[in-house]
Amino acid sequence: MTGYVGDKTTGFASPASDAIEGPIDLTEILDLRRPSRYPVRVRGRTFFSRGILDGDVLIADTAGQRASGQLVIASVSGQPILAELRLIKERWWLVSGDDSSSPILVDPALDVDIWACVTGVVREHP
Amino acid sequence: MTTVYGLIDCNSFYCSCQRTFEPRLKRLPVVVLSNNDGCAIARTPEAKALGIKMGDAWHLVRGERKLAGVQWYSSNYPLYADMSRRVYQVLLDHVPRVEPYSIDEMFLDLTGLPGDLTERCETIRQQVEQITKIPTCIGWGPTKTIAKMANYIAKDRPEMEGLCDLTDARTRQRFFRNLPVGEVWGIGRRLLPRLNDAGIRTIEQFLQADTALIRQIMSITGVRLQAELRGESCLRLEEMAGQRQGLACTRSFGQPVTSYEDMREAISGFAARASEKLRAEKMDAGHVSVFIQTNPHKRADGWYANHAAMTCSPTNNALALIDLSTRLLRAIWKSGYRYAKGGVLLNDLAPAGRQASLFDVADQHSPDLMDAMDAINRRYGKEAIRPLSTGIQRSWRPRQGMLSPRYTTDIREVMEVRSF
């Protein structure tokens, strides 16, 4: 039998028939139907300290607001990277997760641009 | 209240979708090819500047030295469909009613919206570009035909900065004086010579022409077009596509099909796919036709094209439609030719489950099998299971040599970012 969700029983009436809420829908929780949401996959582990590992799926939001300390997807000379956005002396910088590289100034004229803000992380096989 | 319609159009839509997920393409010439990697169907301005024309055959121009830096892509329709959905949804955040007219053009109902329309349309453009990374142009005016015209002007003239307002009759008059009548929505290559013969070259001349003359040349459609261009709205906004009249599944083959067995597999596959679309729309079909043809541009190899059709008791069952299509194929098949294209067309569509005629045998196939097949394919991906008659090797499958990932519809193919 398909379509049974705990409500319509054949014998004794289900006392829960008015209380059906359905399974948890991660698409809804991560708001993936919103036009600005794009899943992307991380390669590398420099953001280990922020709990982001190689192979994780991040939920990127292209409508997000910039904020200092926020993780963002940026394009640097055409390459998409995951970086921390930081406001230093009224200018926006891309900062490495493990200080292995020096910060990069956000400036579309230098081909450095923010693509989206990171709003969530999904790990399939921890 | 006077109506105001807008038309928003995505610039080089397919190419722009590729750029969204590959920022390195930003200033490079990008071209997207038709099914089978045949010819150019979308070009960025950089590619147009290199002289690539719409419909240029890729295999003929790919060797040219000046095109060495061009980034070529096979068409990736799952991606384009999802990006079109995103554009549509962003638009619905800003205007109450949107008509998805084509995958890259949408009509907006701007009637009675408060505030300055130019400002609103500029905001819409910025939002669409921020969220989807796709650049657009918007034109607007009192009718859909004028909105389409305004959009053309916005796109054609860089000094308009992507926006064109034709709500004012005097502004329209100024543009219409010099615009060729061939740019009007619905006036194609067939009609243009006849209008020109009657001395009608500009839109202004078209508007001033006698209604009787226009009716004689292009029937009532032309009279309506005159009214629309004058600012009297005849075409309304349609928020949903109407019920479809027929459904087709046709393909050009990746390499010529020469054997009956291969053709039968291909035709079975088209019938299976068409029936799947039918079931998704809860329709059935009472008329099936099949066609096959050789390459019309290579008549030296011999040329043959034929089709056959029959009515049937209404069905949407894959096995029933494969059976009918195969019978039709047998009637038109001729060996000794190199076939380039084939297809299955379904007609006489109606909501599924209608009464078969008195003398028909009702559809004897159980719907359970189709329900199960559709459920499995929805869960495990397209064609996870399919009728064996659709083939295993399928050497005739379309070429897609430069296919990009399905960035937004398959979790295994999403964009990768390097952690900095």
pLDDT value for B224:
92
Chain A nearest-CA residue for B25: A78
Contacts of B133 in chain A (CB under 8 A): 62, 115
| Mean pLDDT calculated for residue range B304-322 | 93
Q: Are strands A37-43 and B415-419 parallel, antiparallel or unpaired?
A: parallel
- Closest CA–CA distance from residue B45 to any residue of chain A (Å): 19
Give B41's Cβ-side CA count (13 Å radius). Answer: 15
Q: Does B359 touch chain A (CB under 8 A)?
A: no
Is residue B381 domain-resident?
yes
Is residue A14 domain-resident?
no
pLDDT value for A107:
96
Is residue B237 domain-resident?
no
Among B163, B195, B217, residue at a domain's last position: B163
Q: Does B85 touch chain A (CB under 8 A)?
A: yes
Domain of B212, CATH number, reads 1.10.150.20
Can you tell me the distance from the alpha carbon of B344 to that of B273, in angstroms, rounded to the nearest whole number? Answer: 9
pLDDT in tens, B172-192: 999 999 999 999 998 888 889
Share of chain A above pLDDT 70, in %: 98
Is residue A7 domain-resident?
no
Count of structural domains within chain A: 1
pLDDT value for A1:
43
Residue A2 in 3-state DSSP?
A: coil
Contacts of A51 in chain B (CB under 8 A): none
Q: How confident is the model at residue B13 (pLDDT cuts 50, 70, 90)?
A: very high
Strands (E) located in B236-394: 247-257, 283-294, 305-315, 339-351
**Range of A105's domain?**
26-122
Q: B106 with B219, same domain?
A: no
**Range of B27's domain?**
5-163
| Mean pLDDT calculated for residue range B147-175 | 96
Asked if B25's CB is within 8 angstroms of A81's CB, the reply is no
Is residue A49 domain-resident?
yes
Domain of B259, CATH number, reads 3.30.1490.100
Q: Of B16-20, B94-98, B160-164, B243-247, which range is least confident?
A: B243-247
| Mean pLDDT calculated for residue range A96-120 | 95
- Residues with Cβ within 8 Å of B49's Cβ and at least 6 positions away in sequence, in order, are B29
Q: B207 with B339, same domain?
A: no
pLDDT value for A2:
65
Query: Which residue, among B270, B400, B272, B285, has the nearest Cα to B342 in the 3D structure?
Result: B270
| Res. B334: pLDDT tops 70 | yes
| Mean pLDDT calculated for residue range A9-36 | 91
Q: Of A104-108, B85-89, B350-354, which range is least confident?
A: B350-354
Which residue in B23, B127, B418 is closest to A78 by CB distance?
B23
Q: How confident is the model at residue B359 (pLDDT cuts 50, 70, 90)?
A: low
Is residue B10 domain-resident?
yes
Mean pLDDT for chain B?
Answer: 92
Is residue A44 domain-resident?
yes
Q: Does B130 touch chain A (CB under 8 A)?
A: yes
pLDDT value for B296:
82
Is residue B407 domain-resident?
no
**Model ipTM?**
0.91
Asked if A35's CB is within 8 angstroms of B418's CB, the reply is no
Is residue B412 domain-resident?
no
Is residue B71 domain-resident?
yes
Is residue A85 domain-resident?
yes
Is residue B70 domain-resident?
yes
Can you tell me the distance from the alpha carbon of B38 to that of A32, in angstroms, rounded to the nearest whole number? Answer: 35
- Residues with Cβ within 8 Å of B50's Cβ and at least 6 positions away in sequence, in order, are B29, B66, B67, B70
Q: B148 with B29, same domain?
A: yes
Domain of A108, CATH number, reads 2.10.109.10
pLDDT value for A101:
92
Q: Does A35 touch chain B (CB under 8 A)?
A: yes
Chain A nearest-CA residue for B127: A63
| Res. B361: pLDDT tops 70 | no
Asked if B26's CB is within 8 angstroms of A35's CB, the reply is no
Q: How confident is the model at residue A83 (pLDDT cuts 50, 70, 90)?
A: very high
pLDDT in tens, B93-107: 999 999 999 999 999
Count of structural domains within chain B: 3
- The number of beta carbons lying within 10 Å of the beta carbon of residue B310 is 13
Question: Counting beta carbons within 10 angstroms of the beta carbon of residue A20, is it exposed (0 to 12), middle (13 to 18) or buried (19 or more)?
Answer: exposed
Asked if A113's CB is within 8 angstroms of B23's CB, the reply is yes
Which residue in A34, A94, A115 is closest to B420 by CB distance?
A94
Which residue in B90, B416, B419 is closest to A52 by CB distance?
B419
Q: B152 with B201, same domain?
A: no
Asked if B130's CB is within 8 angstroms of A82's CB, the reply is no
Q: How confident is the model at residue B255 (pLDDT cuts 50, 70, 90)?
A: confident
